[in-house]
Amino acid sequence: MERKRPRLWLLTCLVLFGFCPGSLDAVNPSENEIGHPQQRQQDHPNPKLPASEMPLEVDILKLIKVSHKDPGVSVVEGPIGKYPAYKFRLPYGNVPMINASTVIEAINKSNGFTVVFLFRQQKNNLGTLISINSPGRLTPWFQLTSNSKTGILSLKYRLRNSTKLNQKDWELPRHHRKSPMAAWTWMALTMDFQEDLIRLDLDCSPSKFESVLSRKGAPPKLAISNDALVYFRQEPGRKKKFLGSMQVAKILPYVTHERLWNCYEISSNLAPEYRKPITDN
Ligand SMILES: *[C@@H]1O[C@H](CO)[C@@H](O)[C@H](O)[C@H]1NC(C)=O
Ligand SMILES: *[C@@H]1O[C@H](CO)[C@@H](O)[C@H](O)[C@H]1NC(C)=O
Ligand SMILES: *[C@@H]1O[C@H](CO)[C@@H](O)[C@H](O)[C@H]1NC(C)=O
């Protein structure tokens, strides 16, 4: 399927990076696998885009000013060299997000938006990556939850003009029959209201598409109330805390049509030498 690429995105690729992910540039096969040893040894010619500042990005890890000084947080090595990654354990939680309104503004775009995470999750953890709720309400306006016990990624969202809570579930990759999300995984979810598409990209697996609309005629835009609050890696009441490590947590207030990381080959069936090494949590 050929889609229009936003001018902004093309411009960014060309001007800032001199290439576009998914273009025909020859890419080292080790690109396929984040955390590949070769990648750490050398300075990578193609920096992973979300490690750089992307146009208009909202960087959640910056907004919460996460630091190794926070109880329960340690700095760990992530797939992107020379770029901090954080491991979250209990008792970390309930950290106020300064300027959370920038998150709401980013996902309140009528064309759509993109949410990007690079993370690795503990075993048996029902972890909310991001949740947008009105005060005192458990039912979210928008929420993304990763469950490493069941291996399911769940998206919940509400559309304007409808009271229905929509839910989409996807299976998360399992590595070497270990717990899902035991290895670092790139994830990008794009809600494209103009094309009526939700696109989910996980590492170098083929993109998965869903329709946004729950029924015909509903205006394709997210419903978010003006009193909404942003919860990062937990739900209201400090429930469903995400435990594990994160290197990227960003929201882009526009639709992306390309994967934001490099893949030598889009495949659900990689040769063993290109599979991810497993790191114990
Ligand atoms: C909040 O965001 C606004 C607009 O992006 C910015 O001007 C302001 O400095 C931010 N405040 C803090 C405390 O980061
Ligand atoms: C949605 O809202 C519009 C007005 O904004 C109204 O005309 C329409 O009937 C509503 N649709 C539904 C399904 O409620
Ligand atoms: C979302 O954007 C609309 C304009 O499209 C605005 O009227 C509304 O107040 C915004 N909602 C929030 C929660 O900022």
pLDDT at 2: 38
Domain boundaries, the chain: 7-274
Q: Which residue has its alpha carbon closest to ligand 3 atom 13? A: 226
pLDDT at 274 over 90: no
265 neighbors 16 (Cβ within 8 angstroms): no
- Ligand 3 binding site (Cβ under 6 Å of any ligand atom): 104, 108, 110, 224, 226, 228
Rounded to the nearest whole angstrom, what is the distance from the C-alpha of residue 64 to the centroid of ligand 1?
12
User: At residue 220, what are phi and psi to the nearest 5 degrees?
Assistant: -80, 80
Q: What is the largest CA-CA distance in the chain?
A: 53
Give, rounded to a whole angstrom, the gap between the first and last alpha carbons of the chain.
39
User: At residue 35, what are phi and psi to the nearest 5 degrees?
Assistant: 80, 5
How far, in Å, CA of 278 to CA of 198, rounded? 29
DSSP run (H or E) holding 7: helix 7-11
Most informative mutation of 110, 158, 160, 161 for ligand 2 (most atoms within 8 A of CB):
161
Strands (E), 123-228: 126-133, 142-147, 152-158, 165-171, 185-192, 197-202, 208-211
Nearest to 116 by CA among 3, 247, 206: 247
* DSSP 8-state class, residue 222: B
Domain 7-274 is in which class? mainly beta
Question: Hunting for tokens 């670092």 — which residue is that?
Answer: 184
Rounded to the nearest whole angstrom, what is the distance from the C-alpha of residue 223 to the centroid of ligand 3?
9
Helix (H, G, I), strand (E, B) or coil at 32: helix
Q: Which residue has the higher pLDDT, 260 or 75?
A: 75
| pTM greater than 0.75 | yes
Tens of pLDDT, residue by residue over 72-97, are 999 999 888 778 899 999 887 767 77
pLDDT at 215: 61
User: At residue 29, what are phi and psi to the nearest 5 degrees?
Assistant: -60, -25
128 neighbors 240 (Cβ within 8 angstroms): yes
